Chain A
Amino acid sequence: MGEYSEQTPINIITGFLGSGKTTLLKGLLAAPDLSDTAVLINEFGAVGLDHELVQNVTESTLLLDNGCVCCAIRGDLQGALRDLLSQRQSGAVPYFRRVVIETSGLADPAPIAYTLLAEPVLQHHFRLGGIITTVDAVNGASQLQRFPESVKQAAMADRLIVTKTDLATPEERDALQTSLRGLNKSAPIMEVGEGQSQPPTLLTDDMYDEGGRQREIEHWLDAAPGDDALVHDHADHIHSFALTYDVPLDWTAFGIWMTMLLHRHGDNVLRIKGLLNVSGVPTPVLINGVQHIVHPPSHLPAWPNENRQSRIIFIVRDMPQAQIERSLAAFNKLANPVAAPGQAA
């Protein structure tokens, strides 16, 4: 098996009904750099896609006996991705270097991530790239108040794309930005108006991509601690916050803590992203979790600046920051005494 970073990345484009997913995708696929992209679409909307490698798949989720909704295999993707693999190997389709899955407007991205890591064949060939969520500048705030699906899609995103900004007032755009930032501290928010498209790096940058890794981490570093206690009027009780640690963390103690946390509370831990200063490791270790699922750790070749703090961003539902902070500190003390979480650098 090759390194995780060498596997074909899969990007998920999700977003509520009518939020502009296909328009965004159409703009991206027009870039020559992204011509070697295979596309799986769960529902065809009003916008047509003129691309060589587009397949329609009907969403079907296979719930496992344990009833854990995020740990479910998406049967449609299992079949479609296996077919794509064999077609690529036999030369029946042009060689593709990445896959984009455009979900339906009500989809939960978590089972897609789970499918890529748990499915016996797919886990050796594909990895999760990034989750890109579109939010309508005009209707987005109201959807976040009324529809939990919309909140979860925004909370799980690696990138948030606010669409139709030319139709929204500055006040509407500001209110939506504040709301999205409260939900998801780590995802950069990009605005798109009529006729504007996004750069190809939207699909190519992720924490496992050699070229884009550094840019990706800069977004995480921008997620400054502070203003974490904001209460937002969402249809779900999701919020995000960042913890920082001043001294190196013990990898063994951290693994014990995080597996235990995700076992008990994974349903309510939507994302964990971290840049860790690990004892005995001179370069930063990157962690990336989607609900119960944790991707293999990655690393940067060097620290991005003088700051050697570990920084962990949590996006959680109904879980107080203070409890998580205290718990991680207590577990770390098992291996080595560590400082309590400090303030932002």
Chain B
Amino acid sequence: MCALCGVLGGRGHWTESAAAPEAFASRAEAHTRARERQERTRLVNRILGHYGLRLGDWSAGAHALRGPTGRTALVNNLSEMWAAADDLGRRDCDPLDPDLLRHLEGR
């Protein structure tokens, strides 16, 4: 799997509002970068928890992804994070995994 996928250099990752200021201009005030980042971390940890992984803040531009054995990787965006999650976790993260979906659906 490609760690470069989706990384758009200085433009910012496509999942961040800042990458498309025209499209998201109307919500810029309510969604500061810091708040968006906080919300992204909160939501993604709901997924990562299923795999024994946890994402935390590291510095303004990066996050630290911690695996079940304590190993840590620094990641700059979601695309990098999923690649690191494969290395740190015990199994591959798959959004179509029925176990994960049952977990998210609360069943």
> Which A residues contact B (CB, under 8 angstroms)?
1, 3-5, 64, 66, 68, 71, 117-118, 120, 123-124, 251-253, 255-266, 278, 280-283, 285-286, 292-299, 319, 323-324, 326-327, 330-331, 333-335
Q: Is the CB of B95 within 8 A of A331?
A: yes
Q: Which residues of A contact B34 (CB under 8 A)?
A: none
B87: Cβ under 8 A from any A Cβ: no
Q: Is the CB of A117 within 8 A of B8?
A: yes
Q: CB-nearest residue of chain A relative to B105?
A: A330
Q: Is the CB of B9 within 8 A of A120?
A: yes
Q: Give the CA-CA distance A5 to B2 in the complex, in Å.
A: 26
Q: Give the CA-CA distance A293 to B27 in the complex, in Å.
A: 25
Q: Is the CB of A1 within 8 A of B10?
A: yes
Q: Is the CB of B104 within 8 A of A333?
A: yes
Q: Is the CB of B40 within 8 A of A255?
A: yes
B43: Cβ under 8 A from any A Cβ: yes
Q: Is the CB of B105 within 8 A of A333?
A: yes
Q: Which residues of A contact B8 (CB under 8 A)?
A: 117, 123, 296
Beyond known contacts A71-B4, A259-B78, A263-B83: 6 more, CB 8 A cutoff: A3-B21, A68-B5, A260-B95, A262-B5, A264-B94, A299-B20
Min CB distance B96 to A, Å, is 5
B19: Cβ under 8 A from any A Cβ: yes
B23: Cβ under 8 A from any A Cβ: yes
Min CB distance B4 to A, Å, is 6
Q: Which of B78-107 contact A (CB under 8 A)?
A: 78-79, 81-83, 92-96, 101, 104-105
Q: When the two chains form the complex, which single residue of A68, A259, A292 contacts B15, counting CB atoms closer than 8 Å?
A: A259
Q: Which of B22-39 contact A (CB under 8 A)?
A: 22-24, 26-27, 30-31, 36, 39
Known A-B contacts A256-B78, A260-B47; A281 and B26 likewise in contact (beta carbons under 8 Å): yes
Q: Which residues of B contact A259 (CB under 8 A)?
A: 6, 15, 78-79, 81-82
Q: Which residues of B contact A262 (CB under 8 A)?
A: 5-6, 79
Min CB distance A129 to B, Å, is 17
Q: Which residues of B contact A120 (CB under 8 A)?
A: 9
Q: Is the CB of B15 within 8 A of A324?
A: no
Q: Which residues of B contact A295 (CB under 8 A)?
A: 14
Q: Which residues of A contact B60 (CB under 8 A)?
A: none
Min CB distance A319 to B, Å, is 8
Known A-B contacts A263-B93, A282-B26; A294 and B6 likewise in contact (beta carbons under 8 Å): yes
Q: Which residues of B contact A282 (CB under 8 A)?
A: 26
Min CB distance B106 to A, Å, is 9
A-B contacts, 10 listed (Cβ < 8 Å): A4-B11, A123-B8, A251-B24, A252-B15, A252-B39, A259-B82, A260-B93, A262-B79, A281-B26, A285-B20
Q: Which of B6, B20, B44, B101 lies at the interface centre, i.e. has the most chain A CB atoms within 10 A of its CB? A: B6
B72: Cβ under 8 A from any A Cβ: no
Q: Is the CB of A293 within 8 A of B78?
A: no
Q: Which residues of A contact B94 (CB under 8 A)?
A: 260, 264-265
Min CB distance A217 to B, Å, is 13
Q: Is the CB of B104 within 8 A of A331?
A: yes
Q: Give the CA-CA distance A263 to B2 in the complex, in Å.
A: 8
Q: Which residues of A contact B83 (CB under 8 A)?
A: 263
Q: CB-nearest residue of chain B relative to A264?
A: B94
Q: CB-nearest residue of chain B relative to A328?
A: B95
B62: Cβ under 8 A from any A Cβ: no
Q: When the two chains form the complex, which single residue of B4, B15, B17, B22 contacts A64, counting CB atoms closer than 8 Å?
A: B4
Q: Give the CA-CA distance A252 to B27 in the complex, in Å.
A: 13
Q: Is the CB of B104 within 8 A of A280?
A: no
B74: Cβ under 8 A from any A Cβ: no
Known A-B contacts A259-B15, A292-B5; A280 and B36 likewise in contact (beta carbons under 8 Å): no
Q: Is the CB of B3 within 8 A of A66?
A: yes
